[in-house]
Structure 1
Amino acid sequence: MNNTTKIKKNYRFIKVQKLVIVSILIGFLSAFLGVILKNTTEYYEEIFFHKTVVNPIFLVVFPVFGLSIIYFLREYVFKKKENKGIKEVFESTNSPSNNLPSYKIPSHFINGLLTVVFGGSTGIEVSTVVASATIGSVAQRKQNVFRQYKTELICAGVAAGITALFSSPIAGLLFSLEVISRKVTRAFILTNLIAVSIAFGLLHLLDEKPLFAVHNMTWHLRAIPYFILLGIIAGINSVYLTRCVLFFKAQFSKIKVHYYKIIFGSVILSVSLFVFPQLYGEGYHAIKTIFINPNGMVLSLSMVLTFIGILVLKPIVTSATLASGGDGGVFAPSLFIGAFLGLLLALILNQYFNANVIPINFVIIGMAAVLSASIHAPFTALFLVCGLTNDYTLFLPILVVCLISKYTAKLIYPFTVYSYSPSLAK
């Protein structure tokens, strides 16, 4: 072996070593950030939501107060630099010169927390994704050897962040692949596998529990036609969510005085929360209530009207939250819509068509189906929901329904809130 070959071999070895070390750091920091944001949000959201139950006047105060603080922070602390959500990550991975600045870490962390805690009807997932992607982006700028692995290291941060939120390393890997990178390289496999392994290890050390606990799951072949129906309806609902978000953002962008946006958004939020408190924040508290005993629920007219109202209003209040300056995305809203849609469909099928389906199955599959259709990532949705429930009994029906819902949505409207741009829509 000549000297040139030895030098090249040593250089490759050193480069791999450095990639391993930086992937470990990215995985730990991104997961730690995700766990802190998740637990802090859950803790304070519960406290603030309880205050609105005791004194409903807070349903008026909290939204306008939260959106005003976020506006103040963006205007004076973060120097009028707007948060574009996951589109920022796309712009960074698609351009060698466009990097995610380090201020995105505290900006998305704080704004995402404030949005949800004060009643904004969205989730912290996108805030976590952008903040953790920024960790990867900052890391790749530290040494020249990492420049060519910009996308891989950003994806490693994203994958670790998603793993921390949903207790599913496979969902983290698949989200960074299906939504962000869309290509597999050896460096992608190395960096992302290490990052999600570190993230999942941290979850075990901290004894983080799945968000929704389910037991004694089973399903029957006779339910397949009803699962297919759920997939089609979920695809239609996801398009409604996507179009709502895009419409509200387009309309609110025409308002030149930002505080008018805050007032309009707060009015929509406050009125909706007065009618349906389930819409407050991420909505996971409402999903947990229907997880208690969905199989024992009996359909009534008031329940049907409540569920329909929630399904109609959720995309509107989510859109108003985001368009008026809130920080978040469609992850939590999709899971929320899917849970209520699935339960409503199951109860209707049982009461009026003697279908004898298992409602909790429809809750879980509905969550995955709407998420799959909303972000066009069926495999991410599959493993994410299985991770949320820590149960893989419904793996096959979830996979089928996720594919059906995705392609139903694409057939109706080819864009997601991440992929849409005015130039593409023309």
Structure 2
Amino acid sequence: IAAVHHNPTGLRLRAALVKVVASSLIIGSGGSGGREGPTAQISATVISRLCGALRIPRPDARIAVAAAMASGIGAIFRAPLGGALLGAELLYRDDLEADAIMPGLISSIVAFAVYGSVYGFQPIFGTMSGLTFVHPAELLWFAVVGVAAGLLGRWYAQAFYAGGALLQRLPVPRAILPAIGGLCVGLLGLAVPAVLGTGYGWTQLQMTSGWMLSSPLWLVLVIPFAKIVATTLSIGSGGSGGVFGPGMVIGGATGAALWRIIHDMPGVSSSPAPYVIIGMIACFGAIAHAPLGVMLMVAEMTGNLSLLAPAMIAVAIATMIVGDNSIFHSQLRNRLEAARLYRGTPAP
């Protein structure tokens, strides 16, 4: 995001190559991080270097790098449409880069086709065609999901940066910090195994009523908070990984915990899956300031579009609660601020 706004041809290829190895070690060993951040950075770096070699003008290079970021996200999540919109939305807190949408659509579907030809085209969470929205009264409960997801998302963004700053002040060599973070995550994982790795497998378990009702209530309630702590320790300490995936898992766990509390109330679905899905959308759509892209992405990840109506309610409420807080500090406010930056004049 910073490269798109400040130096679209300045991403270093060496950093991308190291990112491959470092992210594999961190996430593969149980660190709490996502695959999408490194994938987006690697994709953007390749195109950034290509734009530099071909002397592509800066305005076109900006769009190319944004489209490359979209292609990496669309491929790794098997969600090309959501990835394309996300590449345009992630650049700003209150705007989107309209010129990047069409290139993002093309790059994302090509990346999805290449990735899917090797790993398959099935949605990450399988096809959940059985999930439907048929009771308008349940919108009240989904609004509550939006409140809870907004609060957890806001705390996630604040805790991640505050915790990272605190870790960076420890009087130890910087190369040792990720090891300290990893040790702490391992100890936390002994008590709450759900914090380890990407967490998508646990999110799938939380979509089933059998697992949710048979698990201790304290575990269901503590997972979203523990995942925030684990991600702060893993990535905030200097480890390599994305914050996107953990944000989705935190949102899903928030929706699951709320369902566990209210599942006996009138009008509540017998399955926790809708609450998990909408929690994912509301939480990360709000803190990334990318509600449209995340809504479509989660719909593609589950193979189900029927929950978009309640998701719109939840993500709107969550966005109001999150306010100007963002998990991506490199975002600019809008295209006007970007234009002023490009012309070299100070933004208001």
Name the TM-score, length of structure 1 as normaliser.
0.71
- Which residue in the other structure is 2:206 paired with? 290
Structure 1 residues 321, 225: CA separation in 2 closer, same or farther (over 3 Å shift)?
same
1:155-234 correspondence to structure 2 within 5 Å: 155-180=66-91, 182-185=96-99, 188-206=100-118, 207-213=120-126, 214-219=128-133, 220-234=135-149
- State whether residues 104 and 130 of structure 1, in contact with CA within 8 Å, keep that contact through their aligned partners in structure 2: no
- Which residue in the other structure is 1:84 paired with? none
- State whether residues 205 and 211 of structure 2, in contact with CA within 8 Å, keep that contact through their aligned partners in structure 1: no
The 2-side partners of 1:97 and 1:316 are apart by: 33
- Which residue in the other structure is 1:325 paired with? 238
Structure 1 residues 96, 374: CA separation in 2 closer, same or farther (over 3 Å shift)?
closer
The 2-side partners of 1:101 and 1:260 are apart by: 24
Larger displacement relative to structure 2 (93-102 or 370-379) = 93-102
Name the TM-score, length of structure 2 as normaliser.
0.86
| Cα shift at 1:204 | 4.6
Structure with greater contact order relative to length (CA < 8 Å, sep ≥ 6): 2
- Which residue in the other structure is 1:384 paired with? 297
- State whether residues 81 and 105 of structure 2, in contact with CA within 8 Å, keep that contact through their aligned partners in structure 1: no
For the aligned residues, what is the CA RMSD? 2.1
- State whether residues 9 and 51 of structure 2, in contact with CA within 8 Å, keep that contact through their aligned partners in structure 1: no
The 2-side partners of 1:97 and 1:139 are apart by: 11
The reply to whether residue 100 of structure 1 matches residue 11 of structure 2 is yes
The reply to whether residue 130 of structure 1 matches residue 44 of structure 2 is no
Structure 2: give runs of 5+ residues left out of the alignment.
Answer: 332-348
| Cα shift at 1:348 | 1.5
The 2-side partners of 1:114 and 1:263 are apart by: 12
| Cα shift at 1:201 | 2.6
| Cα shift at 1:364 | 0.9
| Cα shift at 1:389 | 0.6
Structure 1: give runs of 5+ residues left out of the alignment.
Answer: 1-88, 422-426
AA at the equivalent of 2:28: V
Q: Describe the superposition over 1:354-404 as per-residue Cα deviations: whole angstroms up to 9, x where unpaired.
A: 343242110111111111122111111101111111111112111221122
SS at match of 1:326: coil
- Which residue in the other structure is 1:247 paired with? 162
Q: Identify the match of residue 277 of structure 1 among 179, 193, 207.
A: 193
The 1-side partners of 2:146 and 2:168 are apart by: 33
The 2-side partners of 1:398 and 1:190 are apart by: 25
Q: Identify the match of residue 280 of structure 2 among 340, 362, 367.
A: 367
Q: Percent identity?
A: 24
The 2-side partners of 1:127 and 1:299 are apart by: 35
| Cα shift at 1:119 | 1.0
- State whether residues 87 and 101 of structure 2, in contact with CA within 8 Å, keep that contact through their aligned partners in structure 1: no
- Which residue in the other structure is 1:238 paired with? 153
The 2-side partners of 1:394 and 1:96 are apart by: 39
Bigger fraction of residues in helix:
1
